[in-house]
Amino acid sequence: MIDLFKRMILSGLDTQARVVDFLDEMVKKGKIDEADRVKFVDELEEKICSGKERSEEFVTELIRMISAKNPFVSKAEFAVLNDRIDELSKRVKKLEQKKQAK
């Protein structure tokens, strides 16, 4: 899911760069004024920033909702559980060896 959001964001950044490049070309060709280019880029960046904030809020809420229904284990919790399993496996192995020795 996170990969999907990353791709969407990167796609948006690529699109923004293409728009700016296009506007630069239009300025070089004399089709638009530099002032219009600056104004458009400023408006574009403002909309992207507000969209970014809304996207972050959306992603945060989505992750909260998913986590509420499907609790996740942190890396630290996983490491503790893994260590515990290793410890118990060693104990079982020792008990099995004792049982076989008798």
pLDDT digits (tens, 9 = 90+) for 14-37: 677 787 888 888 889 888 888 988
Continuous H helices in the chain: 2-28, 34-69, 75-101
pLDDT of residue 81: 96
Cβ distance 19 to 44 under 8 Å?
yes
Residue numbers of the domain that contains 100? 73-102
Is there a single domain that holds both residue 14 and residue 60?
yes
pLDDT in tens, 45-97: 787 777 667 777 877 887 777 777 777 788 999 999 999 999 999 999 999 99
The pLDDT-based confidence of 102 (bands split at 50, 70, 90) is: confident
Is there a single domain that holds both residue 50 and residue 79?
no
Is there a single domain that holds both residue 95 and residue 53?
no
Is there a single domain that holds both residue 63 and residue 83?
no
The number of domains in the chain is 2
